[in-house]
Every structure is written in C-alpha cells, then in structure tokens.
C-alpha cells in the first residue's frame, strides 16, 4: 500500500496473531470487560486509549474475540460514543495545532503545505463518515488554507 501524499511505500509494521481464540490467561468475564470499558469511557478515555489500558493494565489483548464486538460497538450500545469519530477528531486537533503555529510563523511554507494535505484528508474522511451516517450531512470543516492565501 502506498502512502497518501507521496510516492513512497509504507513502512513495515508488526501484525497481530492469526489466532482469534481467547487467551488462557484472561480471567475476566465478558460482563466485567464491558463494565471496565463503560467505566473508562465515562472517565473520558477514547476507544484507542481504552484498548491500550485494557492491554497494558488488565492483560486483555483483544476485546473482540471475548465479547464478539469491538470497543466502539460497546460504547455505541451504552450511548457513550463521541459525536465525532476518533480518527477525524485527531486530524482536527492536528490541524488546529498547525494553525496555531502558522499564526506565529506566517512564512512557514512547509507547514502551509502540510495543512493543505491535512485538510484534504479531513475532507475525504468527513465525506466517508457522512455516507456512513456517523456525521450529520450538514457537518462542514472550514478550510483555513483558503484564508491564508
């Protein structure tokens, strides 16, 4: 798979185990895991932070083989899912950091280009989530690059 905005290939990465069986060292029941997920979501953790905390502190490597559903499905059933999907909100947060940088350093052309690419990615992802129904159809991201020119 090639990278989005360059002509390079992606870097190699580690992969999960092929086995989908519940590991023998997991002692938590599905109800306890669901309660942990709901508690962590109420504390303000994102789904990926919940997954890392379950992996690191509770020795639960994957939730899906145990519960039969993902962390986001559990949050959706308990009405704790954030209004904007996590990957889109991370991109929006990154864009706001670049915008704050550009307010101070107006001549930073490399950051302006990075913001253009990031806003294109935000636009593509928001269109995808509108088609899925995870974002309202009238949701719009206001481009800052157009204001800079």
pLDDT band at 2 (very low <50, low <70, confident <90, very high): low
pLDDT at 1 over 60: no
Helix axes 109-132, 86-104, angle to 10 degrees: 160
What secondary structure letter does DSSP report for 12?
P
Tokens of 21: 């069986």
Average pLDDT, the chain: 89
Comparing 17 with 132, the larger pLDDT belongs to 132
Tokens of 98: 């670049």
pLDDT at 72: 95
Strand ranges for the chain from DSSP E = none
Q: What percent of the chain has a predicted confidence (pLDDT) above 70?
A: 92
Structural domain boundaries in the chain = 30-77, 86-148
| Domain topology for 86-148 | Helix Hairpins (1.10.287)
pLDDT at 90 over 70: yes
């Amino acid at each position: 798979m090639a990278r989005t905005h360059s002509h390079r290939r992606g870097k190699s990465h580690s992969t999960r185990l092929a086995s989908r069986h519940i590991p023998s060292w997991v002692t938590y029941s599905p109800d306890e895991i669901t309660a942990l997920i709901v508690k962590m979501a109420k504390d303000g953790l994102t789904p990926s932070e919940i997954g890392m905390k379950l992996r690191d502190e509770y020795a639960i490597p994957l939730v899906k083989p145990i519960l039969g559903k993902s962390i986001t499905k559990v949050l959706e059933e308990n009405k704790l899912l954030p209004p904007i999907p996590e990957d889109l909100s991370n991109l929006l947060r990154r864009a706001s950091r670049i915008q704050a940088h550009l307010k101070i350093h107006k001549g930073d052309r490399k950051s302006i280009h990075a913001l253009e690419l990031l806003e294109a990615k935000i636009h593509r992802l928001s269109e995808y989530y509108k088609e899925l129904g995870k974002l309202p159809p009238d949701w719009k991201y206001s481009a800052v690059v157009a204001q800079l020119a």
